[in-house]
Structure 1
Amino acid sequence: MKRAESERVKTPATLYLDRHQLPYELYQCTGEIEGTAEFMANFLGVPAYEVIKSIVFMDEKHHGYMVLQHGDQTIDTKKLRKILGVKSIRPAPYEYAHKWTGYQFGGTSPFGIKADLPIYAEASIFQLESFYINGGKRGVNIKITPALLTHIGVVPISVTK
């Protein structure tokens, strides 16, 4: 595996950040890659708490939502359902998640998505100085600050199980 900090990988996420001149550091893992937060945390040498997952959900009316959560925590879907005011919520099937974001599972980023999905994040993410989040492709992570989430209108919520 290789850790690269200077090479610019072209994904919809990095293109979005570059186009808007938003600061980030890029980290790319090459070789055999597991698409988990724990794997990336180990690769990056940081706690899984600092590696943020991007999960796409769907309600009973097939409306989509993205939720960002710490890599070592899970989302309480009952809390999420109540916050969103929907009857039911579940992880979106691949075909919906891909249609809304343009990303493959294991490569989902909140930046450069196709649809105008509402994006929410666990409130404690906004308290971190910086963190790592997927850069639009499996094995590509970007280090950013919470200000970038604010820039794209991410709403803080509390949904940790």
Structure 2
Amino acid sequence: MSKPGSRAPETPATRFLKQHHIPYSTHLYPYEPHGGTRTSARELNVSEHSVVKTLVMEDENASPLLVLMHGDRKVSTKELARQMGRKRIAPCPPERATHHSGYLVGGTSPFGTRKPLPVFVEKTILDLPLIYINGGRRGFLVSVNPNDLSRVLSVQIVNAAIE
């Protein structure tokens, strides 16, 4: 649901979706620094629970990974580390997150990353009929069927959400 006269950008994420024949819709909105999923949900008039954030994190060896979480939930890094069999998981500093993913923070998509990264998805995301996830630019989401995540990404399902 892009605004009239606006054109959705072509990004590594949208190229990835097209290459893997994943149906998606584009949604542009005015980006607000530090606005997060609350802003995108408000602007698109959708539930923040169905807006999925892509978080770039690292383990104790500085190995990067992606975590997909509901917009209205936080990640228990302690629980995530336990489920992954790692000692520690922590968010990456923005410059390292950009280096690992190829995307600016606030525009990170799990699709079309610079290099393949392990993807951990909160299990209840897969129960939603439709999710809104970053399309590779700030102020740009794509809506997809969450089952397509499992089809094209090597996702590992976790239960690490906290309210």
Aligned residue for 1:64?
A: 64
CA–CA distance in 1 between the matches of 2:132 and 2:81?
A: 26
Structure 1: 4+ residue segments shifted above 2 A:
2-8, 32-35
Contact persistence 1:5–1:28 (CA under 8 A)? no
Secondary structure in 1 aligned to 2:135? strand
Contact persistence 1:133–1:143 (CA under 8 A)? yes
| 1:45 Cα deviation from its structure 2 partner | 0.3
Q: Aligned partner of 2:111: which letter?
A: F
| 1:15 Cα deviation from its structure 2 partner | 1.1
- Consecutive unaligned residues of structure 1, counting only runs of 5 or more, are none
- Consecutive unaligned residues of structure 2, counting only runs of 5 or more, are none
The alignment status of 1:153 with 2:162, answered yes or no, reads: no
Count of residue pairs the alignment pairs up: 159
User: What's the TM-score, normalizing by structure 1?
Assistant: 0.92
| 1:6 Cα deviation from its structure 2 partner | 8.2
User: What's the TM-score, normalizing by structure 2?
Assistant: 0.91
Give identity over the alignment, percent.
Answer: 36
Secondary structure in 2 aligned to 1:3? coil
CA–CA distance in 1 between the matches of 2:15 and 2:22?
A: 10
- Structure 1, residues 8-27: CA drift from partner, whole Å, max 9, x if none? 41111011111222100001
Contact persistence 2:8–2:28 (CA under 8 A)? no
| 1:95 Cα deviation from its structure 2 partner | 2.4
The alignment status of 1:81 with 2:45, answered yes or no, reads: no
